[in-house]
Amino acid sequence: MLTSEYFINLEDKHGAHNYHPLDVVLVKGEGVWVYDVEGKKYLDCLSAYSAVSQGHNHPKIKQAMIDQLDRLTLTSRAFYNDRLGLLYKKLSDMTGYDKSLPMNSGAEAVETAIKVARKWGYHVKGVPRHKAEIIVADGNFHGRTVTIISFTSTPQYKDDFGPFTPGFPMVEYGDIKAIENAINENTVAIMIEPIQGENGVLLPPEGYLKAVEKLCHEHNILFIADEIQTGLGRTGAFFACDHEGVRPDIMVIGKALSGGFYPVSAVLADESVLGLIVPGDHGSTFGGNPLGASVAIAALDVIEDEKLVENSRVLGQYMMDFLEEIPKKNILEIRGKGLFIGVELKHDFGGARRIAEVLRDKGVLAKETHEHTIRFAPPLVIDKETVDWLLPIVRDTLLMD
């Protein structure tokens, strides 16, 4: 029988080393559980960076995909198909935005949002062509394209990959005054994550999102929220912006939009913004295909039908309450909302990867983000019994020497 070691060596030898995975080779998943080559079972506490919020191999999403595979997979947008309109309607009904524009990966949806905001700036706000500025936050993560890494503050994501796209002044995350100071007559948008996931589940100060929204209204600027990771229930609200009752002008979603079956992302906005896009402005061969649309409709149905937003809120709070009680031997800070929790370790502990490796040996898959933080974001279908199994393991591990 082929071992985990065999597959790890294969990847090592023939693949680009753009990731540093934990040494575990997965072959099967069901709900919150995944299994490795040797048959060992693990609780998935990463959920593919929240793409598998509905749990692995969700039977309803799987069935929708199989049914669609039997009918039609790709038409390109040169023709209509009988699924995309249904996805548009579903998104509109669930979110209240008039329209959406479908893409595949999260990064593509962010690129799309940038293009839409710039066009709005030139056609509606009257900014001189090629002068548009979009304010972004320090510590952001919006994806890996050249334009997007042009405004990352993580040197490794950027330093070897210039030249860069201009037009993205950066301000400190959580500082509303800094945004105010960065605004000028060419500012068309502010783009932020309502919680910075890749930066270690960093929450802005209470009231920040509301203040950003207010600034945007006052200065005729679009508010773009990147909810690719935080959206669709992850933080215990449908959108993380809902916690402050904020409604961004442009909402970017991805990841859980397809429950892990197929890449689907989208930009949501009202007619006054997305209505500016005309034929030929933007496109994608696979974006909006009937297979992806069917999967996304089913993935959204599951979030509704199984009340995953509420489960995230209730069990997330339950987890936070438990974690807060753990003696602060190695813990610097615990941050989170819903089932989106980051535990930052004291910086002399030696890095969160050690914790991830010990947890793996105990049957829990969690991943360090940056150096000192470990993230707990299990599929939103997790139940209390499983959380009660998980928490003592996490506590004991966080108390290690």
Ligand X SMILES: *Cc1c(COP(=O)(O)O)cnc(C)c1O
Binding site for ligand X (CB under 6 A): 49, 105-107, 110, 141-143, 193, 197-198, 226, 228-229, 254
In whole angstroms, the minimum distance from the beta carbon of 362 to ligand X comes to 27
In whole angstroms, the minimum distance from the beta carbon of 246 to ligand X comes to 16
In whole angstroms, the minimum distance from the beta carbon of 198 to ligand X comes to 6
Show the beta-strand stretches assigned E in 211-370: 222-226, 250-253, 265-269, 331-336, 341-345, 364-365, 367-369
In the bound state with ligand X, the residue whose beta carbon lies nearer, of 228 and 339, is: 228
Question: In angstroms, rounded to a whole number, what is the distance separating the alpha carbons of residues 109 and 374?
Answer: 27
Question: In angstroms, rounded to a whole number, what is the distance separating the alpha carbons of residues 209 and 359?
Answer: 34
Per DSSP, the three-state class of 43 is strand
Question: In angstroms, rounded to a whole number, what is the distance separating the alpha carbons of residues 277 and 98?
Answer: 14
In whole angstroms, the minimum distance from the beta carbon of 253 to ligand X comes to 10
Active site residues: 141, 226, 255
Is the Cβ–Cβ distance between 341 and 320 less than 8 Å? yes
In whole angstroms, the minimum distance from the beta carbon of 38 to ligand X comes to 29
In the bound state with ligand X, the residue whose beta carbon lies nearer, of 149 and 352, is: 149
Residue with tokens 């991943």: 367
| Local structure of residue 127 (DSSP, 8 states) | P
Encoding tokens for residue 171? 């301000």
In the bound state with ligand X, the residue whose beta carbon lies nearer, of 32 and 195, is: 195
In the bound state with ligand X, the residue whose beta carbon lies nearer, of 229 and 373, is: 229
Beta-ladder partners of 35:
28, 41
Per DSSP, the three-state class of 142 is coil
- Quote the distance between the C-alpha of residue 78 and its chain's center: 29
In the bound state with ligand X, the residue whose beta carbon lies nearer, of 141 and 376, is: 141
Residue with tokens 């710039």: 118
Per DSSP, the three-state class of 346 is coil
In the bound state with ligand X, the residue whose beta carbon lies nearer, of 141 and 208, is: 141
Residue with tokens 């502010």: 190
Helix count and strand count (H, E) for the chain: 14, 15
In whole angstroms, the minimum distance from the beta carbon of 340 to ligand X comes to 11
Per DSSP, the three-state class of 269 is strand
Encoding tokens for residue 174? 């959580």
